[in-house]
Amino acid sequence: MRRFEGRIAAVVGGGSGMGRAISHRLASEGAHVYVADLSEDAAKKVAEEIAADGGTASPVQVDATDNDSITALFDRIRSEHGVLHVLHAQVGMPGPGGIEVDDAQWQKNIDVNVKSAYYTCTLGYDLLRAADGKGSITMTSSTSALVGSPFSPVYSLTKGALVPFTRALALKGAPDGVRVNVICPGTVQTPMLAQFFGREPGADVSELTKDFVSGIPLGRGAQPEEIASVIAFLASDDASYVTGVTIPVDGGLTAK
C-alpha cells in the first residue's frame, strides 16, 4: 500500500525503537519522513536506512523538551513544504520506581512525557491544518495510563495525561480537519524495555520481563513493527472517521 504518497510526516522520537519502526512504515507507504530525535546520529541512521529501502527522509536533531528546538523543526518543514500531513509524538521515558520522587525527577518526567507531547502537537498544529482535511496527530502513551503502574505511579500520571489531552485536542481539531488519536502499547521489544524492569538496583530484568509477559493473553510482547502498523492505520485515510480515541495495543492486557 502507498497510503501516504506525496504526503509529509514527522516522527518526533523517530531514532529508535517504536519511533524508528513508525518512521520506516510511513516512508514505506510513500511519505517523506522527518526523523526527529534527540540523537542526531540516530536520526541520520534511520534516514539512511529509509533511503536504502527506497524511501525518502530528513534527519533532524530535536530536543522535544525545548520549545525553540521543536519550533525550529516545524519552521524547516514550513519552509520546505508548507504543510504537514502526519505528526507522531513518540518521546517518553520510564518513571522512577516508587513514590519517593525528588523535584528533579518529577520535573524531568513532566518535561519528557507531558510537555514534549503537548508542544509537539500544538506548535505543529498550523501545518496540519494546512493539509486540507488530511491532517493526523498521533501520540504514544502506555497501558500504564489505563490500568496504573504499581512500579511507577509517576509514569502512570504523566502518560495518563495524554489520554484526556487527545480527546480535547481532537475536539479542537475536528473543525479544521485534524484528527487526533493516542495508542497505549503494553510490553514492546525495544531498547527501552530493560529500563522499565530495571528500576531497582540488582533487579533480574530477564526474569521480571518473563513474568510480566506471562500475564499477557497473547503470551508475548509486541514487536515495534506491530505498533507502527497501528499508527499507519490511524494516520491514513482508512481511519478518516476516527478521532479522539485511545487504542490499547497490548496483546489483550487491558481486556482482563
Nearest to 183 by CA among 234, 147, 241: 234
CB 13 within 8 A of CB 90: yes
Give catalytic residues, as residue numbers.
155
Rounded Cα distance between 43 and 17, Å, is: 12
As given in the structure block, the three cell numbers for residue 49 are 536506512
As given in the structure block, the three cell numbers for residue 45 are 541512521
What number of CA atoms fall less than 13 Å from residue 128's CA on the CB side? 27
Rounded Cα distance between 49 and 33, Å, is: 12
Phi, psi of 140 (to 5 degrees): -110, 115
Radius of gyration of the chain (CA): 17
Chain mean position to CA 34: 14
| 3-class secondary-structure state, position 6 | coil
DSSP 199-241: -STT--HHHHHHHHHTTSTTSSPBPHHHHHHHHHHHHSGGGTT
Type of residue found at 217: P
Type of residue found at 182: V
Report how many helices (DSSP H) and strands (DSSP E) the chain contains, helices first: 12, 7
